[in-house]
A and B are shown apart, each in its own frame.
Chain A
Amino acid sequence: MNEGLGSPMPRRDGRIKVTGAARFAADVKLPGLLHAALVTAPIARGRLVALDPAPALAVPGVARVLTAADMPRFAAVTTPPMATAVQPMQDDVIRFEGQPVAIVLAATPEAAEAGAARVAARYAADAPLLFSGERAEVPSRESFYVFEEPDLARGDVPAGLAAAAHRVAARYHQPPRHHNPMENSATLAVWEDGRLTLHTAAQWTYGVRYGLAGALGLAPERIRVLAAHTGGGFGAKGYTWPHQLLAAVAAQVTGRPVRLAYTRAQMYTMTGYQPEVAQEVTLGADAAGRLTAVRHASVSNTSLTDDYIEFAHAGSAGMYATPALQLSARMARTSLNIPMAMRAPHEGPGMFALESAMDEMAHALGMDPLDLRLANHADADPSDGRPWSSKKLREAYGEGAALFGWRERPRQAARDGHWILGTGMASCIMTVFRFPASARITLRADGQVVLEAGTQDIGTGTLTIFPQIAAGELGIPIERVTLRHGDTDLPETGGTFGSSSTACVGAAVQDAARKLRARLDGIAALQPASLGAPAEAPEALLRRAGLADLSAEGRYEFGRPFDAAGHAGSHAMRTFGAVFVEVAVDPELGLMRLRRAVGSYSVGRIVNPRTARSQMIGGITWGWGMAAMEASVVDPALGRFLSKNLSGVAIPVNADIPADIRIHFVDEVDPHAGPLGAKGIGEIGAVGVAAAVANAVFHATGRRIRDLPILPEGLLGAGAG
């Protein structure tokens, strides 16, 4: 039995993280270290005309200023593993504000920053290109970011809409939002005997290796990427970004270790963001509320040079049973830096629109919003008719509604002093993303077990979960398992993104442990049995066989380098859930507060309910940020992000998030998604929340808000009349 699975074990990285002992990329030091500071373009579009490093070189402590002339020509690499197809400092073209144009290297961070401020650069600016849905274009399939068809049609949507008793058609909009992990991306690069080592903030150690190997024309084996702890990622550290490439080159040119740590402002222009998304949803339903047609079209912004696209219709493709479905995703170029997948991509923006429209439909029908969802439950994948790998969404609705008291909620908005209380709900859905993985496990004669995998820690609980799986398989206490991770010298794994690590790397760990058990059983069969002796401890068996240690390699694979929604197999793979919220609105001041929330999920087996709960609370908080405050405003004259900091851009703080957030997982094992029966949970918590909040605001005030975030100006005077 998997006695390790399902146990709410405390995090094994607890002590090092509460004492400050855990080392992140920028915490690493080497003798002779040079500190790098980037000089970045202040214009969105145009040309670098002249650059004079002399004033910077005059600053005491500045060792070197690197410009495009000092850069090697980087080879073209696919996106991903590179984040963007256009590499930095290769020419004089400025494609976005914040683009690096020079690197100042100095003995101290103070000197590097002072030097960067003194580099004299002149630019010729062109007019920036702003977001416009009218310039929408179909993305090129050359980028792996375009992993789905931009268009999907099934059935006759015009006929479905014509036959509908009720129709809802509405437009929804959300601004760009930044990941803003607390750790700014940083890399320490050092060359030794033609080999490059990087300590870096990464969600994918092997991806950084492949990205740099391709760009620098090196054999991947000559690059070692170390990422023991990454201070949050959320998609901002998934692929290979300029800090990694430029630190590597700067270290090569100077022959010294170089640390390049982004400033917070540089995080805004060199790690991506969730793009601006404009959406239009049209629904038709019969008198009983059954959908007759779903149309969902979206346009998201991308950069001048890369085809990143938000598949906002991904949720609509899998959510509800309907005879007619018409989905399209387009992108529109802007002179901003490239956007990037952000917790939760695709379904995150899209389900705000679909679930708001479903609430509008429920209102039009005079139907309970939950009953409308139940009436349209999809028993098979609506996009292609395939059976689900597993789905217990009906249970998630029912058990979540019971926890929240949904059926007992007041039908009219309640009052609490100045506050008007509203309730709202939404469905949640997320594509299951899978990546192959490998792991190695070694049992030593002293009874210690060493588990090894290249995978990185970004805080999702894997440092506890993987040893849990190994200990459970081997039937030993977890205290005897040591995990080595965050290193490309260890067995290859995919990125910690797409809610994939627990299910995929965990499956490789389980496979390794099972193979080790089988080898132990083989050794036991060759040893003379001691009559009547109790079952022998594995390490005792090892000693008796004269072995110092015994290893096994495990793998998780499915014949492809990547899979989304189970297209590699016969079953459609998605995760599901429902989120219920109570929101308070003060229309006199335009204030909005989250009072309580229930998230109820059908996501396969939960390996560690304790870390899983924390991840879902995090996801719901991300959803609240999306609903209530997050916006990276683009200056319409300058075509750049207006505030590139944490003081001019609001993200949720402790005071925003109530203690009363209840997380529930339906008891479920997915027999198709992988041997653990687990799927993924990192992203789905952030899905649906913004719609549930907007729906609660409508319940409280009668005001339908379709533009995020929901700010005081949208609430002032609401429901007062």
Chain B
Amino acid sequence: MTPMDPAPLRRDLVRAASLAALAPALPVAAQPAAAPAAAPTLRVNGAVHDLAGLDPRTTLLDWLRERLDLTGAKKGCNEGACGACTVLLDGRRVNACLVLAATLDGRSVTTVEGLARADGTLHPVQQAFIDHDAFQCGYCTPGQVVSAVACITEGHAGSEAEIREWMSGNLCRCAAYPQITAAVQDAAARMARGEA
């Protein structure tokens, strides 16, 4: 297992705090962070959602896509082999198709939709993907971007070879691999300089 970098947690806390101020504007399903403890809840991109009454077969991926209309995470294989559904679960990357939503009471998920700042400023990884032309059709891209954020915060972006290994859980059939590697290297440098 890899040590957690505190940076994303800090960022999540800041985001959650700012979202609390926006609570009246949240969708009906979303409740402020201080919801009653009895109802199972899952925090997604800072907003808390009710898990009660959920079909126990529902994967995190289907729940995000069908229930919350967060369709950035994609279904490429539905069995954990392609990485197109990668999201951060408590800061760690997971294949959302392999996680049952009903098991996630009290947990926190960040999807690709939750990476950019509220003012629209892109996350350094997102910007680097554009700068390095690190995608074509864009279907695997949300998973690549989320995976890259984790790859950097895990400390696995130390070299080109290391990035290539630790980004190999995310398939890209358009094959933008060298550009993805370059984008992760660039974003890692930007984040190390505190631009995140």
Contacts and interface: CB of A to CB of B under 8 A. Distances in A.
B20 interface: no
Contacts of B141: 17-18
Nearest to B143: A182
B81 A13 contact: no
Interface string A409-444: 000000000000000000000000000000000000
A571 interface: no
A621 B137 CA distance: 16
Contact of A182 (B65, B84, B131): B84
Contact of B65 (A16, A27, A234, A657): A27
Contact of A114 (B57, B77, B136): B57
Contacts of B181: 654, 659
B176 A618 contact: yes
Question: Taking chain A's interface residues, is the majority helix, strand, or loop, or is none over half, making it mixed?
Answer: loop
A617 B138 contact: no
A658 interface: yes
B179 interface: yes
Interface stretch (A65-73, A134-142, A225-233, A709-717): A225-233
A183 B136 CA distance: 13
Given A19-B126, A657-B178, A232 B139 contact: yes
A179 B173 CA distance: 9
Interface in B70-101: 70-79, 81-82, 84
Contact of A20 (B66, B71, B182): B71
B180 interface: yes
Interface string B103-141: 000000001110110000010001101110101111111
A220 interface: no
B177 A652 contact: yes
A231 B75 contact: no
Interface string B147-180: 0000000000000100111011111111111111
A19 B178 CA distance: 21
B130 A459 contact: no
B175 A263 contact: no
B137 A230 contact: yes
A182 B178 contact: no
B72 A19 contact: yes
Given A23-B71, A182-B139, A182-B140, A622 B81 contact: no
Nearest to B67: A108
Give the one of A15, A229, A458, A646 with max B CB within 10 A: A646
Nearest to B70: A20
A697 B180 CA distance: 28
A26 interface: yes
Nearest to A201: B139
Interface residues of A, number: 63
Contact of A181 (B70, B130, B173): B173
B118 to A, nearest CB: 13
B76 A184 contact: yes
A532 interface: no
Given A617-B175, A622-B175, A654-B168, A10 B71 contact: no
B5 interface: no
A127 B115 CA distance: 54
B137 A10 contact: no
A377 interface: no
Give the one of A11, A179, A230 with max B CB within 10 A: A11
Nearest to B128: A18
A261 interface: yes
Contacts of B65: 27
A264 B133 contact: no
Contacts of A108: 55, 58, 66
B46 interface: no
Question: Taking chain B's interface residues, is the majority helix, strand, or loop, or is none over half, making it mixed?
Answer: loop
Contacts of B12: none
Given A18-B126, A27-B65, A29-B69, A646 B177 contact: no
B98 to A, nearest CB: 12
Contacts of B178: 617, 657-659, 661
Given A19-B112, A20-B113, A109 B62 contact: yes
A183 B137 contact: yes
A24 interface: yes
A655 interface: yes
B125 to A, nearest CB: 8
Given A18-B145, A24-B74, A232 B116 contact: no
A655 B180 CA distance: 11
Interface string B14-29: 0000000000000000
Given A27-B65, A646-B76, A661-B178, A618 B70 contact: no
B175 A618 contact: yes
A184 B84 CA distance: 11
Contacts of B126: 18-19
B130 A182 contact: no
A356 interface: no
Contact of A18 (B70, B76, B135, B164): B135
A399 B62 CA distance: 50
A40 to B, nearest CB: 16
A460 B55 contact: no
Nearest to B65: A27
Contact of A657 (B76, B81, B177): B177
Contacts of A181: 137, 139, 173
A2 to B, nearest CB: 22
A657 B137 CA distance: 19
Contacts of B122: 15, 18-19
A615 B136 contact: yes
A44 B126 CA distance: 45
B75 A184 contact: yes
Contacts of B81: 264, 645-647
Given A232-B137, A232-B139, A614 B113 contact: no
A517 interface: no
A24 B182 CA distance: 26
B135 A232 contact: no
Nearest to B160: A659
Interface in A218-264: 229-234, 261, 263-264
A651 interface: yes
A27 B76 contact: no
Interface in A97-128: 108-110, 114
A10 B78 contact: no
A109 B78 CA distance: 12
Contacts of A646: 76-77, 79, 81-82, 171
A14 B115 contact: no
A182 B73 contact: no
Interface string A538-554: 00000000000000000
A19 B179 CA distance: 18
Contacts of A233: 137
Interface of A: 10-11, 13-24, 26-27, 29, 108-110, 114, 179-184, 229-234, 261, 263-264, 457-461, 610-611, 613-615, 617-618, 621-622, 645-647, 651-659, 661
21 contacts: A11-B133, A17-B135, A18-B145, A19-B72, A19-B116, A20-B111, A21-B72, A180-B173, A181-B137, A230-B137, A232-B139, A264-B78, A618-B174, A646-B77, A647-B77, A653-B177, A654-B164, A657-B177, A659-B160, A659-B181, A661-B178
Please give me the 3 A-B residue pairs with the lowest Cβ-Cβ distance, nearest first: A20-B72, A231-B139, A459-B137
Given A15-B130, A17-B141, A661-B178, 4 more contacts: A14-B129, A459-B138, A614-B179, A646-B81
